[in-house]
Structure 1
Amino acid sequence: MKTAKSVGRPLLFLSGTLLVATFILIVTHLVIATYDRDYLASYARHIMTRGLEVADESGKIVSKVNAIRDETCSDKFLDEIRYLSFTSVFISDIGYIRDHQLKCTAMRGRLPEPVTMSVPDAITRYGQRIWTSFSGIVDPRITADMMESKNVLLFPTPAAFRDIYVPYNGFGAVLINHRHDHVFRLFGDTAGLVRDVNEMQGFAWWHKARFTECSKRYDICVMARNTQIGLFSLSATATVFIILAALAAGGMFTFALLQYISNTRSLQNKLRMAISRDDIYINYQPFVDIDTGRVIGYEALARWKEVNGDNIPPDVFIKLAESTHQIKALTRSVVKRTLTEIAPLLRENNALFVSINITTADVTEADFRVFLEEEVDKSRLHRKQIVLEITERSTADHRLLKESLARLRDYGYRIALDDFGTGYSNLDYLSKLSFDFIKIDKIFTDSVGSQSVSFKMLKMMLEMLAQTGATIIVEGIEEQHQADFFLKEYPRIVGQGWFYGRPVDIDKITS
């Protein structure tokens, strides 16, 4: 029979995969749709720009024709309008109307019989009259669009918009007047376009794009629509590929997330078991008086090896203990095991001490002080042989911390400030709290021999800390040149690092 856990994990994986894939598809659709909308707007504005160019040229021609002083439709008049027609870009012919009759055009000259103009198909808001597909001028087989303004009849060239192609299926645009009752030009799929652009609502924005813009100088508007945007604009092959890619990405992300959650929870539970079973063991790294080479104490360093033999780095399981509220239990486990293991060595030599890392929460907690007193009494050690290390990266209230540290020092314990130079407080800590030992972080030791800012800071810190009266401990001394530098320049400090001894278990120290 399947358990709830065996069924639940595949279900979580499937749900997570679909959820992430859906999110990826939505984002992909929106990104492509945004591009499509921008492209539609650019396309529509290109049409509008061309419409404005035709209107501008038409207006200039009308003004120039009306400025001709020669008799209308005379030979000189025809020569002038032929020149204007020949040099224009968007106008193929120019005519002159009087008393609603077309008298002459640049291309046809004086008409044998004037052509009476019919009722225009539209009149713009600025008074221009427009005919669409007008026929009957000279040859009934020829139809043309025409616009009349101030007695000047203009024949726009059919090629004026020929270079504006329709990008792909779904695109459509119209060049129309402000009242939307007369269309100048159509582009692409325009079925129901005006209605769609005016009335588009609901979820239409999800798969359609629309654009509209009107000129303030001319009775011209452009209305554009794309009925296939985003994923809807892609081919079936491309859409299937994107869906499969989204599912694959969703599956990988969900698998990684479930693995992370599983590992974190598993590691959290393993840490809880390790603490309860006292499986957190201790390595001890010596503190050395670099002037004499004598070991003066040891730092207790928590270590954790899983049952399968994997070593979990301290920065991993200590952070995990802090984030899962197991740090108090971990600290108590470390204190208890440390004092039990090293007590015989320290009882043999009262000058030696052991340094134990604790949190500021432990320092300020009365229960921890009671626990510490009981364990020290059991070990039969002097309080001065116990050094309690706290880090300056803590944001604990200084007043409460100062009172708690003072109480511990009254008991006889000594206090060390760890990782000096890397935390939040630096000088603020030293100005408000008293320490017996101050430990300089390894990042400054690594700079020895260089001309870096860190090396300059190291020398400044050593000079400054010498004035505090505290014993200075330099961490991370691993190379000969580092040890030589400190021995020559600062022989009164205490050194710690692989150069003087690696962290080892208690048996190797006692043997």
Structure 2
Amino acid sequence: MTINAHTFISLLNLNNRVYFSSYAALFIFSSLIFFPVLLHLIIILYHSSYLKDYGLENLTTATQVQFQIKQSLTIQADDENTLCSKEDFKRLREFIDKYHYIGDVGRIQDGKMLCSVKQGILERPLELPSPDIISKEGTLFWNNQNKKDINDNTSPFFGRGNTVAFISSLYMKDFELYSHTSTSHFGGILYSSNENFVYKVFGDISLNTINHAKDLPDSILNYLPIPNRFIKRTFCDGITDTCILVINRKLGLYRLGYPALISLAILNLLIGALIVVLYGHYRSGPKLFIRQLKQAIKKDKITPEYQPKLQLFDKKIIGVEALARWHDPRLGQVPPDLFITSAEELGLINELSRKFILKVLGELHDQLENDSSFSVSINLSSEILTEPNFHLFLRDALEPYNINVNQIILEITERTSSNNKSMSESSKHLSEEGYLISLDDFGTGFSNLEWLSTLEPYELKVDKMFTQSIEANTIQNYSLLGILKMIEYLDVVVVFEGIETEEQYQLFREKAPTAIGQGWYFYRSMPIEKLLAILEKSHSEKMKAA
């Protein structure tokens, strides 16, 4: 389905009615809200996966360390006499060679370290501080922060019975290096789930933040671009009862430096502009209009307004013309010529006409039933008039009401070039059933007198271009004089459209007193509620005068 060039140009003009504010709002939303938040969430998603890998990798290493520590503490001396003996040293050294996460192993007695593989036999037994934690199994744990005098490093160490084991300082250095450099703004805590004590706080994060995060429930708000938000992950090993809580304390866009943020801001503005252009293309032009027109017809959004028709000699309202009106939320008030012409070109006019007729009868039936001299004129295209079953549709439409068929005036517009023979046959058939045929816009279109003789209409409507020509010395003015002279000899009801001034009214009242007038001089088109109020007022005034 296509539309012609004239209609296309009209649609382009119609697009100017689309408010700039909608485009501005879309630009602001896409550039400053949607895409920044989307990018923020994408970065979080990426780092969430990285945070998981980071946590699991450290937990795997920690559980291996935990296993090796437990294994080392099982190497108990047979008795006190063998502590730090040559055979004892050999046994401990073999263990260090086997487990690379163990940095040193020694012997303790009465709270003092006697010897270790790395330091040998101490000249004076080293007094150990009170352990930070004593597990239910009797394992002693020293955090060993800032206590280099114990084993010349700050690695945690463990003790049980007469054995003490130190975690390798190389592992601890690698652990800290990985936590601070490879995962900036990442950090966490390594702890025992069943004993509830902390082995190590690591990474680019404070203990206060970790303690705050431990009991903080997950929330969708944590993923939004709000300052000071963080995400966390907890992983536990069920065998060793070791857990690790890892935290990313700078999320999404907050991780980026100013150069990256400026570049992304520019990119977002460009994307926003592109979205506006694409959206403008989508919501404008013929494609949008066709979509909206189809929806308007389908959902019965094209509504009637009514312009009264009056007897010129006394200004009495004797009927109305039903005019189709369409106000679209996006396109605004669409000109009737545009959407009716488009409906004809797109093959939608029959559906539109049927729904329009049903709506007119539904709104106007009380007035038509109460006043048998009152009529309604409805503009119809030649396409629906020549439809074989149109007369059956009209019969079904009128069946619920007590309306005479001669109160229905079917207006045929001359702008069509429909086959004269089929139009003649259709109008004759409808006339025989009692409907009144009106030749609309007389004087324009493809023919004049030819249509007048072919259709034999009940009513002749003189186009407003002739009505309004009386104030100028134009061809139309001379044509109007000819029309006025001609209708003196025609047995038709004549309606002058487009009467807008007192001068026009007085001229037609003088030249054709039995004619009917229609135009802004009397009334503009109006919704049914206003029409009924005017008719009620006119009826009341008539009753008072009587």
Q: If the length of structure 2 is used for normalisation, what is the TM-score?
A: 0.48
Whether the 8 Å contact between 1:197 and 1:224 is mirrored in structure 2 is no
Q: In the superposition, relative to structure 1, how do residues 327 and 40 fare at CA in structure 2: closer, same or farther (>3 Å)? A: farther
| Partner AA of 2:25 in structure 1 | S
Q: Distance in 2 between matches of 1:48 and 1:38?
A: 15
- 1:314 aligned onto 2:346: yes
For residue 203 of structure 2, what is the aligned residue in structure 1?
187
The one of 207, 214, 239 aligned to 1:198: 214
Once the two structures are superposed, the pairs formed by residues 266-415 of structure 1 within 5 Å of their partners are: 268=293, 314=346, 337-338=382-383, 378-380=427-429
Q: Distance in 2 between matches of 1:105 and 1:41?
A: 38
Q: In the superposition, relative to structure 1, how do residues 68 and 51 fare at CA in structure 2: closer, same or farther (>3 Å)? A: farther
1:173 is paired with a residue whose SS is: strand
| Partner AA of 1:55 in structure 2 | Q
For residue 270 of structure 2, what is the aligned residue in structure 1?
248
How many residues matched? 334
Whether the 8 Å contact between 1:197 and 1:223 is mirrored in structure 2 is no
The one of 39, 45, 63 aligned to 1:34: 45
For residue 174 of structure 1, what is the aligned residue in structure 2?
189
- 1:14 aligned onto 2:57: no
| Partner AA of 1:111 in structure 2 | L
- What CA deviation, in whole Å up to 9, does each residue of 1:299-353 have, x standing for no partner? xxxxxx979x9999737x579969x966989xx999851487x8xxxxxxxxxxx
- What CA deviation, in whole Å up to 9, does each residue of 1:450-477 have, x standing for no partner? xxxxxxxxxxxxxxxxxxxxxxxxxxxx
For residue 88 of structure 1, what is the aligned residue in structure 2?
99
Whether the 8 Å contact between 2:350 and 2:383 is mirrored in structure 1 is no
Q: Distance in 2 between matches of 1:11 and 1:221?
A: 54
| Partner AA of 2:162 in structure 1 | N
Q: In the superposition, relative to structure 1, how do residues 121 and 247 fare at CA in structure 2: closer, same or farther (>3 Å)? A: same
TM-fit CA distance, 1:239 = 2.7
1:192 is paired with a residue whose SS is: helix
Q: In the superposition, relative to structure 1, how do residues 237 and 116 fare at CA in structure 2: closer, same or farther (>3 Å)? A: closer
Q: Distance in 2 between matches of 1:312 and 1:336?
A: 8
| Partner AA of 1:337 in structure 2 | S
TM-fit CA distance, 1:78 = 1.7
Whether the 8 Å contact between 1:44 and 1:223 is mirrored in structure 2 is yes
TM-fit CA distance, 1:84 = 0.9
Q: Distance in 1 between matches of 2:394 and 2:44?
A: 57
Whether the 8 Å contact between 2:192 and 2:199 is mirrored in structure 1 is yes
TM-fit CA distance, 1:96 = 1.8
Whether the 8 Å contact between 1:193 and 1:224 is mirrored in structure 2 is no
The one of 84, 90, 96 aligned to 1:73: 84
TM-fit CA distance, 1:144 = 5.0
Q: Distance in 1 between matches of 2:255 and 2:393?
A: 60
1:97 is paired with a residue whose SS is: strand
Whether the 8 Å contact between 1:306 and 1:312 is mirrored in structure 2 is no
Whether the 8 Å contact between 2:68 and 2:101 is mirrored in structure 1 is yes
Q: Structure 1 unaligned runs (5+)?
A: 279-304, 343-353, 384-511
The one of 57, 67, 82 aligned to 1:46: 57
Once the two structures are superposed, the pairs formed by residues 45-194 of structure 1 within 5 Å of their partners are: 45-65=56-76, 71-131=82-142, 132-133=144-145, 134-136=147-149, 144-164=155-175, 165-166=178-179, 167-178=182-193, 182-190=198-206, 192-194=208-210
2:74 is paired with a residue whose SS is: helix
The one of 231, 235, 239 aligned to 2:261: 239
Q: In the superposition, relative to structure 1, how do residues 230 and 212 fare at CA in structure 2: closer, same or farther (>3 Å)? A: same
Q: If the length of structure 1 is used for normalisation, what is the TM-score?
A: 0.51
Structure possessing the higher radius of gyration over alpha carbons: 2
2:214 is paired with a residue whose SS is: helix
Q: Please tell me the root mean square deviation across aligned C-alpha atoms, in Å.
A: 5.2
